[in-house]
Amino acid sequence: MTWARVRAALTTESRTFTRQFRGRTPTVVRRWCRTATLSLVIMRAVALVVVMACLPLTMASSASSAAGYSGPDRIDPLVIGHRGAAGYRPEHTLASYELAARMGADYIEPDLVSTQDGVLVARHEPEISQTTDVAQHPEFTGRKTTKVIDSQSVTGWFTEDFTLAELKTLRAVERIPEVRQRNTIYNGRYEVPPFDEVIALRKRLSKELDREIGIYPETKHPGYHRSVGLPLEPPLVDALNGSGLNRPGAPVFVQSFEVTNLQALHSRLRVPLIQLIDSTGAPADFEAAGNPRTYDDLLTPAGLAAIADYADGIGPAKDRIVPRDAAGFSQEPTSLVGDAHAAGLLVHPFTFRNENQFLPAEARSSGDPNAYGDAFAEYRHFYGLGVDGVFSDMPDTAVAARNEFVPAQRGAA
């Protein structure tokens, strides 16, 4: 942790202090954060004591500098199971989430959309023809329609036109079968899970594996859901409150590509918020409101400072950190990791995958886009740049790379 992050922690609300140190300080401090019931005034006073006590460790954390590892007490980067273990099972199924946890992921990541009856379910998009067998259900043929989501026309079947009971009659399928043909063996085996089942799975696996498994929900197209009368934020807050997870120190992050819903959640949630940053374009809520700012603007020093007012980190596309040239080769890293850390923000880039088509050209094994390349090289690069976590479709690879990288760096220190 840099002095900039320490200063930021001391000058923000007490809940931001506990967020900044959750999972990134010694066990005794995490326990202090989880059990603290002090008032805001007292917590701010105690914060200085805790920071000073932990300074040797926090100065050696993975947020210490863009140069990467800085000492023997570095806290390992988080591994976030992107849509579960989407490289091995149809995404956003309980089977995918469970496999991710058993492979060593620290967090599992459900994308959240709404049903007609206002229940949050885990799907990559509201449109479900690519991730379920809905097209094979003649009883739902008449519900195929065209809608506009974030200025894009989309045709298919949409979760908001189904009750939870109706969605439960569908089964998940592999979203990209041409890339992950082996996953198609699991087509038709798993239901569409509501968010409460994901939370229950997290609790069960934490007990079984004897380690805390976190959840990292994303609110998908929150502006669109509000426009159809099904806002995502109230049921999300209710679910976290009901499960005892809306508290400092809870194993939860909440993320969004939009800005205004995170700003609204800032006053309602006591867990860390992550502003997602796409490779190009602008937040959909900015575009809808006629706001000319883009994701590029959010990554300026002023933009990062503004994010730090309502969020605890950013989730940028990988090429925001390591750009690629027209041939796909990695270019010199940007200053984003260091800039974000200087603003007091965590950095969790997305998405890491093993297949050649997703890797930089220098890490590809052949001309076959679906064959595995040297994913370990990409992980080493990003871990070395000091990121605080990674979203991965193959969490076992991310964990193995972390297990190799951290001891090697400690040995070199």
3-state secondary structure the chain: CCHHHHHHHHHCCHHHHHHHHCCCCCHHHHHHHHHCCCCHHHHHHHHHHHHHHHHHHHCCCCCCCCCCCCCCCCCCCEEEEECCCCCCCCCCCHHHHHHHHHCCCCEEECEEEECCCCCEEECCCCECCCCECHHHCHHHHHHCEEEEECCEEEEECEHHHCCHHHHCCCCECCCCCCCCHHHHHHCCCCCCCEHHHHHHHHHHHHHHHCCCCEECCEECCHHHHHHCCCCCHHHHHHHHHHCCCCCCCCCECEEECCCHHHHHHHCCCCCCEEEEECCCCCCHHHHHHCCCCCHHHHCCHHHHHHHHCCCCEEEEEHHHCCCECCCCCECCCCCHHHHHHHCCCEECCECECCEHHHCCHHHCCCCCCCCECCHHHHHHHHHHCCCCEEEECCHHHHHHHHHHHHHHHHHHC
Residues 82 and 43 in one domain: no
Question: Does the structure show a pLDDT above 60 at 344?
Answer: yes
Residue 407 pLDDT level (bands cut at 50, 70, 90): confident
Question: Does the structure show a pLDDT above 90 at 396?
Answer: yes
Which pLDDT does position 76 carry in this prediction?
Answer: 84
Q: How many domains does the chain have?
A: 2
Alpha-carbon dihedral angle through residues 266, 272, 278, 284, given to the nearest 10 degrees: -20
Which pLDDT does position 99 carry in this prediction?
Answer: 98
Mean pLDDT of the chain: 87
Has residue 148 been placed in a domain?
Answer: no
Backbone angles phi, psi at 111, to 5 degrees: -85, 135
Distances from the Cα of 181 to the Cα of 80, 176, 177, 184, 187, angstroms: 23, 8, 5, 5, 10
> In the predicted model, what is the mean pLDDT of residues 261-282?
98
Which pLDDT does position 106 carry in this prediction?
Answer: 98
Q: List the 389-392 sheet strands across, edge first.
A: 214-215, 107-109, 78-82, 389-392
Residues 192 and 45 in one domain: no
Which pLDDT does position 408 carry in this prediction?
Answer: 77
Residues 35 and 94 in one domain: no
Residues 54 and 199 in one domain: no
Per-residue pLDDT reduced to its tens digit, 81-126: 999 999 999 999 999 999 999 999 999 999 999 999 999 999 999 9
Q: What is the CATH number of the domain that holds 371?
A: 3.20.20.190
Has residue 138 been placed in a domain?
Answer: no
Residues 53 and 85 in one domain: no
Residues 51 and 96 in one domain: no
Has residue 219 been placed in a domain?
Answer: yes
> In the predicted model, what is the mean pLDDT of residues 182-207?
98
Has residue 310 been placed in a domain?
Answer: yes
Alpha-carbon dihedral angle through residues 336, 337, 339, 344, given to the nearest 10 degrees: 140
- Please give the residue range of the domain that contains residue 53: 3-58
Residues 9 and 98 in one domain: no
Residues 44 and 82 in one domain: no
Pairing between β-strand 111-114 and β-strand 120-122 as defined by DSSP bridges: antiparallel
Question: Does the structure show a pLDDT above 50 at 181?
Answer: yes
Has residue 171 been placed in a domain?
Answer: no
Residues 15 and 116 in one domain: no
Residues 53 and 82 in one domain: no
Residues 330 and 399 in one domain: yes
Question: Does the structure show a pLDDT above 50 at 10?
Answer: no
Least confident interval from 44-58, 206-220, 364-378:
44-58
Which pLDDT does position 53 carry in this prediction?
Answer: 43
